[in-house]
Amino acid sequence: MLDSKGAVVTYPIIGAPDAANTAWVMASAALVLVMTPALAFFYGGMVRAKSVLNMMMMCFAAIGVVWVLWLVFGYSLAFGDDIGGVIGDPTQFAGLKHLFGGDYAPGEPASAAIPLVGTIPAMVFVMFQAGFAMVTVALIAGAVADRMKFTAWLLFAALWATLVYFPVAHWVFALDGLAAEKGGWIVNHLGAIDFAGGTAVEINSGASALVLALVVGTRRGWPRDPMRPHNLPAVMLGAGLLWLGWFGFNAGSALAADGTAALALANTLGAGAVSMMSWLLVERIRQGKPTSFGAASGVVAGLVAITPACASVTPIGALAIGIVAGAVSSLAIELKYKLGYDDSLDVVGVHLVGGVVGTVMIGLVASSASPAGVDGLFYGGGLDQLWRQLVAVLAVGGYAMAVTAVIALVLKATIGVRAHPQDEADGIDDAEHAETAYDMAASRGGRVDI
């Protein structure tokens, strides 16, 4: 690539980082990284007490598995120069080479000369995007709660990140000239808008969760036996921490402390808040009572839906997306009972459905007054952006389902994916981890000598 003066540009670009932008994205990276432990609380509270540790361990383990892969080749697969329109060059940044060496000169920041992505140090971008990969893998765990072997989960997580997440992240996030010269086809050639991961994170994980749940099979006794959340305060705590992390997730994706980040911040708050109220209204009408579980789920549904759209819609458009996401996701979680798939913690109903709602509605309510500069159908833009959004949804969802099916079926045929029936009945915390979340025996007192 040549710059405006005709000189050859090599990647990563070497230069002095912008201090304000760097500080904001570093803070955002920390917020995104805490989303995976937050998800562990959210999911952990939803399951029965006898398998809460296993559920939380599946989320925490995603951090370790993904980071090792991300460091060795994952970042390069996602953000290296495009190969064949499918994947990034796995050798370009393997081991994170070329991303941290430079002149860390003392004194003013302007005297430094280090690898950059945009105006921030490349290593800050590496960490920021690593958090996306970690939480996306962890999201899938909710669909197979209470019944999947931990070893099988670790292997699945590694294979899925390599074969599904890294390629799709390249399609969606690798903008030409950002981290490398040539990037992915969805963002650069199709022209679909996905600011922070409605396709790469939400639809990708939700579609894969559906397939994995079908391969692993239903929980024993489902849907006959009640399988209620064991700790609703933990669910609400997890939802609150996720909401906090989502500000970094969405507003941090601007990669700058600027007006785009400010709009994304406001839209993230608005969509989450109104989606919660929309979900509760549907609950009140259908079941007679608004629940804390519904409030937490409604918040997450709205955050999911605004993720791709937070820089392409106005605050009013964000409210529209939140209203639709809360209501539709609330209705969608009932589909598992009608269709017979056991999506334990509603990954499909919230993340797949919410991701589709948010991604498609960009084609309806996007406004050229926003940083994306595109009008949707309701703003006079016609069908041009809508069809692009639909193609992105179908491409990512279809690819994720196909590759996940292959991974899951291979694991099922080789090492097996299902816990032993007795372990499921007793609770897989003890069988898989030799621990229990709550030591009830110790709380009952002991012998009293009189």
Q: Which residue has the higher pLDDT, 139 or 3?
A: 139
- What is the pLDDT at residue 233? 97
Tell me, what's the pLDDT at 85?
84
| Of 443 and 350, the one with more pLDDT | 350
Q: What is the mean pLDDT of residues 227-246?
A: 96
Q: Which residue shows structure tokens 């079908």?
A: 214
User: Which pLDDT belongs to residue 226?
Assistant: 85
The yes-or-no verdict on residue 393 having pLDDT over 60 is: yes
Q: Give pLDDT, residue 112.
A: 79
Task: State residue 5's pLDDT score.
Answer: 56
Confidence grade of residue 10 (pLDDT, cut at 50, 70, 90): confident
- Please work out, in degrees rounded to the nearest 5, the angle formed at the alpha carbon of residue 387 by the alpha carbons of 313 and 134: 65
Beta carbons within 8 Å of 48's beta carbon, 6+ residues apart: 146, 227, 228, 230, 427
- DSSP assignment of 97-148 equals TTSS-SB--SSSGGG-BEEEETTEEHHHHHHHHHHHHHHHHHHHHGGGTTTB
The predicted pLDDT at position 23 comes to 97
pLDDT at residue 445 is higher than 80: no
- The Cα–Cα gap between 39 and 7 comes to 46
Tokens 């399988």 correspond to: 227
Question: 222: which DSSP letter?
Answer: T
pLDDT above 60 for 447: no
**167-192: average pLDDT:** 96
Average pLDDT on 234-239 reads 97
Retrieve residue 298's tokens.
């409604």
Mean pLDDT (whole number) for 304-313: 98
Average pLDDT over residues 11-16: 91
* DSSP-assigned beta bridge partners for residue 121: 116
Q: Give the model's pLDDT for residue 103.
A: 81
pLDDT band at 8 (very low <50, low <70, confident <90, very high): low
Contact 206, 353 (CB under 8 A): yes
Name the residue among 378, 382, 376 with its Cα closest to residue 359: 376
420 pLDDT above the threshold of 60: yes
CA angle 66-72-74, nearest 5°? 55
CA atoms within 13 A on the CB side of 275: 33
**Cα-Cα end-to-end distance for the chain:** 87
pLDDT band at 124 (very low <50, low <70, confident <90, very high): very high
Q: What percentage of the chain carries pLDDT values higher than 70?
A: 94
Cβ atoms < 10 Å from Cβ of 98:
17
